[in-house]
Amino acid sequence: MLNSYKQKFAKLLANLDINLPEQDIVDAIEIVPDNIEGDLWFPCFKLSKELKKSPNQIAQDFVSQIDDSQVIVVWPYVNYLLSSQDLSQDLIKQINIDKDNFGKLEKKKQEIILEWRQPNTHKAFHIWHLRNALVSNWVASCLERAGYDVHRVAYPWDIWAHVAKRIWYYINFYQGETPENNFGERAGTLYSDATKKVEEDKDTYKIQIEELQKSLEDGDEKLNEIRKDTRQKCLVDMENIFEELWCDIQKRYYESQVEKPGIEKVKEMKQNWIAIDGERWSLIIDLEEYKLWIFLLLKSTWASLYSTKDIGLAYLKKQDFPKYNQSLYVVWSEQIHHFNQLFKTLELIWFPHDALHHIAYGLVDLKDAKMSSRDGNVILYTQLRDQLLEEAHKMIQDRNILQEQKDIVARQVAFAAMKFDMLLPDASKKILFDPNEALSFEGETWPYIQYTHARCCSLLKKSEFNLESEISNLDYSKLSENYEKNLLMHLAQFGDHISKAAEEYRPNYVTRYLLELAKLFNSYYNNTDKKIVENKSSLALVACVKQVISNGLLILGIESPEEM
């Protein structure tokens, strides 16, 4: 939205003694920080060497040549003052036209594959999986909003050691009934039970599990029938969870699907002397000269590894989406070294590696609780969800709304708290999730933003104001106060924040933008002595805030309550 003003400002500067293309000038223009006069500014530091003047002198000379009251000098910057009336008129009209599409950028005609490491089948969906799903879904939504064509794919492991261990225990020791629902959670229990069982006779049981895994990989019909049947039960559970979270997966690549292509590709690498023999007849690629050490490609039995399958997966994705511009991997940060090795290996076998990027995210623990799926000490998604729902119901039980609406609002608040606190910090950082803090109305919490949206809805409903029908009756000169202009400027930057967040894969840019928008609006609400309903122009601004909050929530996969 601000780009048109940047272009107007750039045209004024381009007419001066400045040896820069107009688009470079536009790219250099920035938003002026708070408490400094002006709205946009152009820094003159880079011109000092060429023009043989100090940046302050260059700025003063430029301003004297432009001779426009909207252009002023502030130290080594040329600052541009926007007209509040022009800004409010342009912005409000644009939001009224775009509505749900406000902040959506032009199509870029670029394809991106976004792969998230979907939870292993035969495993309960816990809060580590939850953060992966939320970060993956957010990155995909933001990239789509930024104009990219995104292919959402997942890579669930369905034949790795964890599956063999569960099937081994299921066949030999499990005596309970097979549940029709929540099979994934039962599978998680089987894994921890199997781990404890192995401890009773490690030498015997480990060999049995390895033999069973090899039989699975070699295509044993009976074992694979059990694997496929239990896998499908787990996938049904996952689909129900993804539907609750508003997460959309368009295509899955199973571990069992990519294993053989990966092994064949590694064998080709040996034939071409890229892969070499390692210890005990294993197969490796030596990446020492790149300071990436040894990358193990096949075990001594020539059984596959993570590396083998990731190589096969890269080629399958390229086959299915041959024109992609980027292939993104959303995987926890402890796998950074693995992906550095993988990408270098793909480069050495002439795979188009420049388009590959690992988006690392940190794991999550609950406050005063540590995770270990091997020991059975996991915080399940369903446990966290139910706890948040219970607390959200308590929080709103005294609100003066119908019980049916309370149930809806409680669900909206609970899921928003879950998602917001997972996405507010830098995705690469490990976080401690505190359900009580997440549901608080104080500080950087999601209920504060949802409450702001509900407040906007209440003001518009109370005044029976509809922006579309009133757009031609507004007096934009009434939006001239500094706190109104601050709010307008922030609304105008929505698309810029989406663009930056998509470019850097940083969901917290959007969450923090919405927090700041809520703070600015509530300051505006308080500064007007709550007389907004008496001014149609102010109500138009309220409608714009409501729309942008709703649009921002949608990117994060969060609902916008109309009352709380």
Distance from chain centroid for Cα 106: 20
Burial of 464 from C-beta contacts in 10 A (0-12 / 13-18 / 19+): exposed
pLDDT of residue 317: 97
pLDDT digits (tens, 9 = 90+) for 497-556: 999 999 999 989 999 999 999 999 999 998 887 789 889 999 999 999 999 999 999 999
DSSP character string of 391-439:
HHHHHHTTSSS-HHHHHHHHHHHHHHHHHHHHHSS-TTS-EEE-HHHHT
pLDDT of residue 144: 97
pLDDT of residue 86: 95
pLDDT digits (tens, 9 = 90+) for 4-26: 999 999 999 999 978 899 999 99
pLDDT of residue 438: 78
pLDDT of residue 368: 66
Weakly modelled stretches of the chain, pLDDT under 50? none
Q: What is the 3-state secondary structure (H, E, C) of 169-208?
A: HHHHCCCCCCCCCCHHHHHHHHHHHHHHHHCCCHHHHHHH
Q: pTM above the 0.85 mark?
A: yes
Gap between the Cα atoms of 136 and 159, Å rounded? 23
The closest alpha carbon to 196, from 377, 372, 375, belongs to: 375
